[in-house]
A and B are shown apart, each in its own frame.
Chain A
Amino acid sequence: MISLTSYAFVAMMLFSIGAIGVIARRNIFVIYMSIEMMLNGINLFLVTFARYHFNMDPQVITIMVIAIAAAEAAIFLSVIILLYRSRKSLDTDIFNTLKQGEKS
């Protein structure tokens, strides 16, 4: 059998890569994809524990997460389109009108 730890490790990797992608990438689509990757990592965690502890509850949560991710996809992509329309760019660093500190 493949141990729990390996699955956990893979899930952890997925989550971390997603987290870093959210922080370090400027392209909105990439950020979105990283968020999805984080969610998938969490899903893998949940399913793994469900399989290894013979419990159905995590699997229920996983289905919910997938559903929510889909809804979130719809909204996220609509907002991206609106943002693109207002600023004609997909660089998240441009949206800084709420900035304090130096003059923007």
Chain B
Amino acid sequence: MSSDILSFIIFLPALVAFALMITTKDVNTIRNIAFLTTTVILALVLKIYIEFIPSEGMQFVTNVPWIETYGINYYVGLDGFSLTILMMIAILIPTSYLLLWEGRTKGYWLNMLLVQTGVTGTLLSLDIVLFYFFWEVMLLPVFLMIGSYGFGKKIFTTIKVTVYTMAGSLLMFIAILYLGVAYHNEFGVWSFAYNELMKITTIEYSTRVWLFLAFLSAFAIKIPIFPLHTWIMDTYKNAPTGAVFLLSSIMAKLGVYAIVRFMIPIFPEIYIEFSIYFVAIGLFGLVYFGIAALMQDDIKRMFAYSSASHLSFIAAGIFSLNEYGINGALYLTIAHAIATGALFLLVGLIHEETGFKTIKDLGGIAKQAPILTFIFAIMLFANVGLPGTNGFVSELLIIFGIYEFNHTLGYISAITVVVGASYMLWMFQRAILQDRPEGSPVLKMRDLKIKEIIGLTPWVFLVFLMGFYPDIFIDKFEPTVTHYLNDILHIGAAK
């Protein structure tokens, strides 16, 4: 029974969504039931978290045939990597509901539920075709959300982001098919499970490089890695808050996760060989996006760049090939998801209450909304990497990791310390702190309601708990990282 729990977690939101679609018409009922669903999932994930044993293998596995002729199985399972991200998703989504509570339509909530299914499915799939299926599933509700509930040039934006992402997915799909055929040619049977595809030996080097790049393109677009990042600017600006939150806090991380889950086992030598380029690109992205964020006038675009900056840093950590870097990168995914997610939700709140357009129009929120300012400041400092918050632990580990990988790049990576602080503090000053003249629309800003405070409190608590006591969290996924490095990449053994 416990091994079915993963399937339950994956499909529950979709089933609830379909049920709601045909039964109720009332927005509030839909919203309440959706919220209830997400809390149920949170409870289940907590149960898994407690039962999980931090060793190297997959747990809670389900493996049943799906499309037998081509060896595509419904193969889901959980290990250290997926567990941390699953925990993160399960905690983040209910709170986001609380902060999006008022003024939405039916479709908004239904789409949020469907995205949750897609995201969880992507996370837990171990069969690569199943993974692809869920990868596409998680795109479609976001497409609908941006197109229906967005702002500005929403149709253009949603088509741009969907087509861009799908272009990458298409390349990945071609690579998947190639791998499947190669496996069939070598072993005589069809299989698409990730641990089976690892065993292919007959593909020659140059083809492997192309396959690697094809896979990577899909993930690099999602994360985003320079230069495949230009979709984020319009998207984050024109998308509704819920979509932005999902895209940046959750879906981008799945790009990172997918690199670790599928690309490391299947292409280990190429991964090691190209790692230095990607660490360099990641660090370049960190600085490039960070500087670009400075002069942004639209607060959402600024956060888009900031998000991209941190995600590039995470990517650099993932490619650093040692325990510090990869553990740090995983920790930063969680830290970033919480901090950036909170900031996006709060900014969305401000946008809805005041209708502002640019940072120039804001200011003086601190006097109107002290609790909001307080939480905003905490999340801002977590983003900047203040010691005592989870941001610091993760950035420190990544710096250690990149330094061990390459001394020069390690020195460059420490720039993260300065870059984030500059644009964040300047934005904070102009948008929140300094006084506004009378009659400005900002003065309509209200402080956080009780449910919003209740929703955000666990996040604040986590930020500090993860900052002061990181070991209890890192222990859950560290053995998996060690396993990946030692057994799959054979790096630890060489040390």
Do any beta carbons of A and B sit within 8 angstroms of each other in the complex? no
- B residues with CB within 8 A of A: none
- A residues with CB within 8 A of B: none
